[in-house]
């Protein structure tokens, strides 16, 4: 499961590596730095929660209870992540709506991904050791899919940020610096 989370940091690095410079005009939206800070903080919080849930499974503890606990922890973390993404709003940049749309899409995708994770675990429960292993594999697959969706959102942000406004925000936000190091 550890490898399934590797694209998270890569996604932030990809976003941080995009475009030139620019400015924007709306004052009711968060600055690029504040928006990036919120996004990176959300990713970090979610990633840490998922890693913690996964560690219990990596220790070889693949009981029905440990799978249920890990799944619940991942679901709760992902719901919070999705809610945090939705609350970011539109950054104060020329392409703010495109950035908001990319993050709103990611929010919906991770909700779907966690539903699929739950379904995989539910289908495998009660099947003994082989079911537990299948459920753990399903969790890893779902997390990998989530990471892919995060990377796709990063690519969408990169494409929308032709003036480099978000790039600067990601470079300046402390939470993003921690993710990309």
pLDDT per residue over 30-47, tens digit each?
999 999 999 999 999 998
Burial letters 16-46, b for 16+ CB under 10 A, else e = bebbeebebeeeebbbbbbbbbbbbbbbbeb
* pLDDT tens figures, 105-141: 999 999 998 888 888 778 776 666 677 777 777 778 8
pTM above 0.85, yes or no: no
Q: Which residue has the higher pLDDT, 116 or 15?
A: 116
* pLDDT surpassing 60 at residue 147: yes
pLDDT at 10: 40
- pLDDT (average), residues 58-84: 83
What is the share, in percent, of the chain residues with pLDDT greater than 70? 78
* 153, 8 contact by CB (below 8 A): no
> Rounded to an integer, what distance in angstroms lies between the CA atom of residue 21 and that of residue 27?
18
């Amino acid at each position: 499961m550890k490898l399934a989370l590797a694209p998270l940091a890569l996604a932030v690095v990809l976003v941080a590596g995009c475009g030139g410079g620019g400015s924007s005009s709306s004052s009711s939206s968060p600055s690029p730095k504040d928006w990036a800070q919120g996004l990176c903080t959300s990713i970090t919080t979610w990633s840490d929660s998922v890693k913690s849930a996964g560690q219990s499974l990596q220790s070889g503890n693949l009981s029905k209870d440990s799978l249920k606990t890990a799944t619940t922890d991942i679901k709760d973390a992902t719901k919070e992540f999705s809610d945090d993404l939705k609350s970011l709003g539109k950054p104060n940049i020329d392409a703010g709506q495109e950035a908001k749309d990319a993050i709103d899409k990611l929010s919906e995708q991770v909700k779907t991904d966690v539903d699929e994770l739950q379904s995989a675990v539910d289908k495998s429960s009660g099947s003994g050791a082989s079911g537990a292993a299948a459920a753990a594999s399903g969790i890893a697959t779902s997390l990998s899919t989530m990471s892919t969706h995060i990377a796709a959102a990063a690519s969408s942000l990169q494409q929308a940020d032709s003036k480099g406004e978000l790039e600067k925000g990601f470079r300046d936000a402390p939470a993003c610096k921690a993710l990309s190091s």
